[in-house]
Amino acid sequence: MHERPEDLTALQHLIDDAYANASAHLLSIHEPERRLNAAAVASTLTGMRLLVLATTTRDGRPITGAVDGVFYRGRFHFGSSPDSVRFRHIRERPEVSATHLPGEHLAITVHGTAEMIDVGAPEHAEFRGGALQLVISSLRRGLRCRRRWCRARRQTPG
């Protein structure tokens, strides 16, 4: 777990806001006793997590695909080749949704705006040195295909 206290506080606010603005249907499924708080989310999402990432085409059609995800400092980070269709979509339309769904017992979905990050930049040294070690075999494959990384910025509900 790489989250600092301020990351967990921000994540908890995001979770609370999402449920405060959720539909009656969602609330009937996500009963309070089944919900994870920020600390539980962070401790559950250690290591590499497979995500289904949704982007959109120029004409608005949704496209989904699997990506390797890392939950780091309260945000999902994911990588792909810089010349991939999904990264072209993100450069043109950065709004994304992603879901981690290991089974019926857990579903974590995020909606937001993806931002490209340069993991070689000094400001991302902690991410590079810590979180990427969790997926070192994936990273080695990624370096051969010039993998780039994105992270999802928080989006306020509504």
User: Does residue 143 lie in a domain region?
Assistant: yes
CATH assignment at residue 94: 2.30.110.10
Domain that holds residue 149: 46-153
As a whole number of angstroms, the distance between CA 135 and CA 48 comes to 6
pLDDT one-digit tens code per residue, 11-22 = 999 999 999 999
| Residue 24: alpha-carbon gap to chain centroid | 25
Residue 110 lies in a domain: yes
Q: Where are the alpha helices (DSSP H) in 67-131?
A: 85-92, 125-129
Cα separation, 112 vs 118, whole angstroms? 19
Q: What is the DSSP letter of 58?
A: T
Residue 64 lies in a domain: yes
Q: How many domains does the chain have?
A: 1
Domain-embedded: residue 140: yes
pLDDT of the residue at 140: 55
- pTM as predicted: 0.80
For the chain, list residues with pLDDT below 50.
139, 142-146
Structural domain includes residue 78: yes
User: Has residue 79 been placed in a domain?
Assistant: yes
pLDDT (0 to 100) of residue 145: 43
